Amino acid sequence: MKTDVEELSPTRVKLTIEVPFEELDHAFDVTYKSLAKQVRIKGFRPGKAPARLIDRYVGRGAVISEAVNHAVPELYNEAIQKEELFALGQPDVEVTKLEDNEELAFTAEVDVRPKFEVENYKGIEVTVDSAEVTDEQVDEQTSTLRERFSTLVGADRPVENGDHLSIDLSAAIDGENLEDVAVSGYSYEVGTNAMLEGLDETLVGMEAGGEATFKTTLVGGEHEGQEADVTVTVHSVKVKELPELDDEFAQLASEFDTIEELREDVRKRMSEIRRLQQLSAARDKALEQLIESVDVPLPDAVVDEEITRRRESLEQQLAQGGLTKEAYLESQEKTEEEFDEELTTGARSAVKAGFILDQLAIQEDLSADQGELSQYVFEQAQRMGVSPDQLAQHLVESNQIRVAFTEVVRGKAMDLVLAGARITDEDGNVVEQENAEEAAAKAAAVAAEESLEVIEDDAEETETEAKTDEAKAADAPAADDK
């Protein structure tokens, strides 16, 4: 087989592949065996008809076409391996010459990962927020815990902001009652402004058993946007009563005997979370610097695919949340043009980051073993709310083990960058790092807060392929005769 490579751009090549017919013997053998099982020729059992009769029965042209369709993907994969190309996506294949018993020639245009080196990735300097926890922050966190143990008690006085009420609401337009607006026994905290405009102002000063009517614009239902007369009736007025922050509260709310022990535990937990947030921020900033420091041409098709993936993911999330894209853009105070620009920028950055981390992994000979793949699947399953076994089975059945392998290796490449970085906080203090394994485990715990078996043969095969067969494209399409 003869292969020539023409570089159409830094991210796209055209392979011209010429193969003498004698090198297609395997493809013809497979083709004849397949056709022999399909045709019925008198005097021969299924699968036993000789090649010369199959040629005559189905036509030599059909046999050649079938053999070429079988051979082209294998020849293409062999060519990109030989030329050490990392193909991205499906190639555009065209048969340019096909002469029986002489030669097969075809071309294949495909996007490829650009060739470059990742240099100066060690010694990156990043600054993150301080992890110091102040007394005021401990007080705030302790107060939040205190809120959880609050109780509501009746108040014999007029309504004030912060009170918890039981109310009835009804509405009328031009004297006609609206059934779809009426509610009874609704629990409402005054001052949240969470319902109708003017409700909170009307409630303040009322007493249990009182009734008042106010005008407002309806914000939902059949009469949305219309002005209505809304009547509110107050059934009860209650205030939130908080427990004292003393040793008794500490024993009620925790395993500690004293309030000081509880506060110290709160401080410790907050410090650990802040430290993990520091490392997460340092990781993001180090990657940003790495992306800015390396010049990498990006294939338009790959960027477009990432843009489409992100757009579809957002649309799916909005649909699940019952939101329209227009409502989302309004909430984000963005125009359609600003949204598209942000989406494109994020997609280009993500594609570039993937190229850089992949190249760094190649330079440093990084890989992933069975245990690391299993840990990755376990963490992803926790985030998705499914069992690790279910996710592992899905990855295997959908042929996505390679994706998991790539993510693990990219993570290790990023760990390498972070390990060589100098991280300081805003006060100039050096932020110490755990080893990569501990940092990865804790980072996964933080992500979750804001048994497993990946089929071993598939995982091991993926590891071997990733090392020796990186350039192989996924299922190259069969060629059509031209």
8, 300 Cβ separation under 8 angstroms: no
β partners of residue 92: 109
- Give yes or no for a contact between 180 and 222, defined as CB atoms under 8 angstroms apart: yes
DSSP code, position 122: S
Least confident among 189-198, 403-412, 427-436: 427-436
Q: Which two tokens stand for residue 204?
A: 């303040």
Q: Looking at the predicted structure, is the pLDDT value of residue 57 above 90? A: no
User: What are the C-alpha distances in Å from 264 to residues 199, 242, 268, 430?
Assistant: 42, 21, 6, 24
**Would you say 152 and 239 are in contact if contact means Cβ atoms under 8 Å apart?**
yes
pLDDT at site 434: 66
Candidates 1, 165, 155; CA nearest to 72 is 1
129-169 per-position pLDDT tens digit: 998 899 999 999 999 999 999 999 999 999 999 999 999 99
Q: What is the pLDDT of residue 447?
A: 42
Give the whole-number percent of the chain exceeding pLDDT 70: 88
* Structural element, H or E, at residue 20: strand 12-20
- CA–CA separation, 74 vs 64, rounded Å? 16
Q: Which of 15, 2, 53 is nearest to 32 (CA)?
A: 53
For 456-472, write each residue's pLDDT tens digit: 444 444 444 444 444 33
Q: What does the chain come to in residues?
A: 482
Assess contact for 242 and 147: CB atoms under 8 A: yes
Supply 134's token pair. 């102040």
Which region among 219-228, 275-284, 286-295, 406-415 has the lowest average model confidence (pLDDT)? 219-228
Q: Say if CB 250 and CB 256 are below 8 A apart.
A: yes
pLDDT digits (tens, 9 = 90+) for 409-422: 999 999 999 999 99
Which residues sit opposite 3 in a β-bridge? 17
Residue 177 has pLDDT above 60, yes or no: yes
Residue 396: what residue type?
V
Average pLDDT across the chain, whole number: 85
| pLDDT of 314 | 92
404 in Cβ contact with 388 (< 8 Å): no
Q: Is the pLDDT of residue 448 over 70?
A: no
Apex 282 CA angle, 278 and 286, nearest 5: 180
Q: Tell me, what amino acid is at 79?
A: A
**Bridge-based pairing state of the strands 183-189 and 227-241:** unpaired
Question: What pLDDT score was predicted for residue 458?
Answer: 45
b/e per residue 240-275 (b: at least 16 CB within 10 A): eeeeebeeebbeebeebeebeebbeebbeebeebbb
| Run of H or E residues at 35 | helix 25-38
* φ, ψ for residue 112, nearest 5 deg: -130, 155
Strands of 35-99 (E only): list them. Answer: 87-99
Q: Where are the alpha helices (DSSP H) in 39-59?
A: 51-58
DSSP at 429: P
If you ran DSSP here, which 8-state letter would residue 157 be given?
A: S
* Sequence-distant (≥ 6) Cβ neighbours of residue 409 within 8 angstroms: 357, 358, 361, 366, 367, 368, 466
pLDDT above 90 as % of the chain: 58
Task: State both tokens at 77.
Answer: 């994969």
Q: What is the pLDDT of residues 289-345, one digit of tens each?
A: 999 999 999 999 999 999 999 999 999 998 888 888 888 898 889 999 999 999 999
Task: List, in sequence order, every residue forming a beta bridge with 241; answer none if it has no partner.
Answer: 151
pLDDT of residue 101: 84
Q: What is the pLDDT of residue 402?
A: 87
Give me the residue label for tokens 């006085």: 157
Residue that is written with structure tokens 């760990």 in the block: 415
70-83 confidence digits (pLDDT tens) = 899 999 999 999 99
Confidence of residue 234 (pLDDT cuts 50, 70, 90): very high
d(Cα 118, Cα 116) in Å, to the nearest integer?
7
CA distance 462 to 452: 18
| Residue 265 structure tokens | 């535990």
DSSP output for 382-421: HHHTS-HHHHHHHHHHTT-HHHHHHHHHHHHHHHHHHHTS
Give tens-digit pLDDT for 12-47: 999 999 999 888 888 888 887 888 777 777 666 665
Q: Please write the tens of the pLDDT for every residue from 237-257.
A: 999 999 999 999 999 999 999
Q: Please give the structure tokens belonging to residue 376.
A: 């990755």
Question: Which amino acid type is present at position 154?
Answer: G
